[in-house]
Amino acid sequence: MTRRLGRVGLALALATLLVWFLIPRPDLLGKHPLSQAVFDRDGSLLRLTLASDDRYRLPVRLAAVSPELVQAILFHEDQYFWLHPGVNPISLVRAAIQTFLLEGRRVGGSTLTMQLARIHFDIHSRSLAGKLEQVARALQLERHYSKTQLLEAYLLLAPFGGNVEGIAAASLIYLGKEPSAISLEEALALAVIPQSPARRSPEHPLGELRAARDRLLERWSRKHTLDQAEQAALRLPMDFRKRSELPFRAPHFTRAALGAYRGRNRIFSTLDGNLQADLEALLQSYVKRNAERGLQNASALLLDYDSMEVRTWIGSADFRNVELEGQVDGTSAKRSPGSALKPFVYALAIDRGLIHPQTMLADAPQSFGEFNPENFDGDFRGPIHAVDALVDSRNVPAVGLAAQLGKQGLYDFLERARISRLRERDFYGLASVLGGVELTMQELLELYAMLGNGGLLRPLRIAHHATATTNTASPTTTPTMTPTMTATRLLSPEASVLTLEMLEKNRRPSNTTGAPFMKPQLQAAWKTGTSHGFRDAWAVGLFGPYALAVWVGHFDGHGDPALTGRQAAAPLFFEMIDTLRHGADIFEHHYATALGQLNLIEVDVCSVSGRLPGEHCPHRTATGFIPGQSPIDRCDIHRRIEIEIASGLRACPGHSPPTRSQVYEFWPSDLLHLFTRAGIPRGTPPPYPPDCALQSVASFGIAPRITTPNSELLYHARTTSNATRQIGLSAISDGDVKKLYWFLDGKLLGHSRGPNPFYWTAEPGQFTVLAVDDHGRSDSTQLRVDLIE
């Protein structure tokens, strides 16, 4: 037996020399894939993934491990770890004598480095040859790695039962906390598991684990003094979780975070775990309460638009519901936003100086080429202020503004916003204003947050940082979801604020008033959207420091009349807002104050026309105004005229019978027609007496303006019939005009009344078209006609 031990000693000596000088540095972590952990903004675990070999394995720096835990592991496994060269000769000799010389119970003599070598190199160390390889590999590791690196590698690979490896994974799974937060009583229990993981794992009854911990505690107490708190904690029942209790929270969000940070072991996200749970429960309850109405699924996204940090991310009503396709992430699915894009048309029009909030727009039947938009209710309201047209989601005024914007309009805006998978411009046309373009909820909410950030588009941020930790490199950090995307200015701060102030006029639906005992209702700047065919219902907007988007619909895309933005999405939108009312800071935050000094003033405009008031405008209202940019047309609707007292007719210019002065509204013929069609009576001025000289009357008022024909166009008329050769001649006339007379190259063609066109049977050639109203005022234009077969 002595000779046998001698041969063992000689073999160890030779192995030491061979390893120390000849065997190269091994890759300590290359073959051990790692898990990923996602935490909420408060450090609570949202999800821990399996590594690619179906094990939970998470690296940790020694500095991030509780000192009591490190001491407990070394005290139990290898008290001389910091002193020996990888092998403890005294322990090996003692184990060899006990095992081989006395042939008694096998006694372990392995150091922590030897255990690491056995795990890493998959060595069967029960045989003599295996033990020699284990020793040699331990020496190899000590040759190439520092003690700290070796201890960190052990803390990564030590077995803790089942497929749980490493102290970081074990502490998260069994205790729900990081290794840095482990207490002494927890450290002593974790330290004894690797010695017998099959029996001491918390997956089994805790009797064996407690007995092993108590034995270690007895030894520990001989060298360490325990305070009263530690003694009391050690008397308490052991509180360990099982793998089945691992959190699987915010699954759509964590999936997105894991995809964005591949290779990062710890992702410290921006998500508010408590708020996520509250809003998830609210959304699920809302869907259940409205199931009979056909509402089956919903998604929601909440972010702090100052920081662009995501606070809540709910991809579906039930992640595990296969029938609802619950694993589909509704926040990243391309959907039609319906009218939710209209605010950006108005913002662009404000930025271009086309409108301010009180500008009068036309809500009347209009044709834009072959596109004939209608309003959701199938009706038209006539003249309408821009703010009312936006808040009431009138389609025709929005399309009209988009047409005025031309090529630098909504499509160009969406391109600059980097909206993904856009098709060519002509594919959408003006229908993009009404939801013809598909966006994801993330993209749409970024656009609304852009308004709150003064026109500056910034990407969503889903993590504060994400680290990749290995044993051979320092932790690396990635700060955001899309670090390569820079901020882009899409609108001026002034246009952004004016648009949000318009959206604040959007009244909360009557069925979302909230409980009377709650705080005053939050001011929300919001908009709904309903896609064509009732497939998608949206509510999106800003309140306090938050931007919120809510979608209700079906992932398979089938329509349902119940799916309108105001009836299906808005109630959930405001229920979520009410849930957030407990935060007092919400009421103190407003985008206008956050943006600082703006080139924005408040001016009075005529409350009827929306223009800067003339001297005779009887009623005025205030509106936001951008000096040097907003339209400065002065109101000429209200005019003071002289009325003959005897006849009640308008006094002829220059005549002086007894008269009285009175202010009348002179509406252009197109708007006057809209008022009439909408059933809104407007008073018109009385006519002149028949004997008034035309020359004197023509010098007052506004001349007609020909709208068709357009002098820049070449008109084609077919020769097959007179009907296909007709061209409509039309003009906008002043409010006191009854008839328009049409002339072609000086020849009278006929007359028209009000906004009605006069139809001329076209002939080929180039002509001068003249329109003269019944007061002698006129306008002319050129007309080119080509006849085709």
C-alpha–C-alpha distance, residues 454 and 708, integer Å:
40
| Rounded (5°) CA angle 520-526-532 | 140
What is the pLDDT, as a whole number, of residue 472?
Answer: 38
Identify the helix (H) or strand (E) that includes residue 236. none
The token pair at 256 is 């997105």
Distance CA 779, CA 708 (A): 12
Q: Residue 338 above 90 pLDDT? A: yes
Q: What is the pTM of this model?
A: 0.85
Can you give the pLDDT at residue 511? 67
CB contact at 8 A, 621 and 609:
no
The pLDDT confidence band at residue 479, using thresholds 50, 70 and 90, is very low
Separation CA 62–CA 45 (nearest Å): 20
Distance CA 766, CA 786 (A): 9
Q: Which tokens belong to 562?
A: 């119940």
pLDDT tens digit string along 690-728?
A: 888 887 788 788 899 998 888 888 888 776 666 567 888
**Helix ranges restricted to H, 505-579:** 570-579
Q: What is the pLDDT of residue 677?
A: 76
Are residues 637 and 648 in contact, defined by beta-carbon separation less than 8 angstroms? Answer: no
Residue 4 CB neighbours (<10 A): 12
How many residues belong to the chain? 789
DSSP codes, 292-306? GGT--EEEEEEEETT
Q: How confident is the model over 747-788, as pLDDT tens digits?
A: 999 999 877 899 998 889 999 999 999 888 999 999 999 877
Q: pLDDT band for position 17 (50/70/90)? A: low
User: Could you tell me whether strands 266-269 and 37-39 are parallel, antiparallel, or unpaired per DSSP bridges?
Assistant: parallel
Looking at the DSSP bridge assignments, the partners of residue 298 are 552
**Spatial distance between the Cα atoms of 1 and 367, rounded to a whole number of angstroms:** 106
Q: What is the dihedral of CA 551, 556, 560, 562, to 10 degrees?
A: -20
d(CA 217, CA 184): 10
pLDDT band at 583, cuts 50/70/90?
A: low
Residue 473 pLDDT grade (very low, low, confident, very high; cuts 50, 70, 90): very low
Dist CA 461 CA 452 (whole Å) = 16
Burial code of 69-98, b = ≥16 C-beta within 10 A, e = fewer? Answer: bbbbbbbbbbeebeebebbbeebbeebbeb
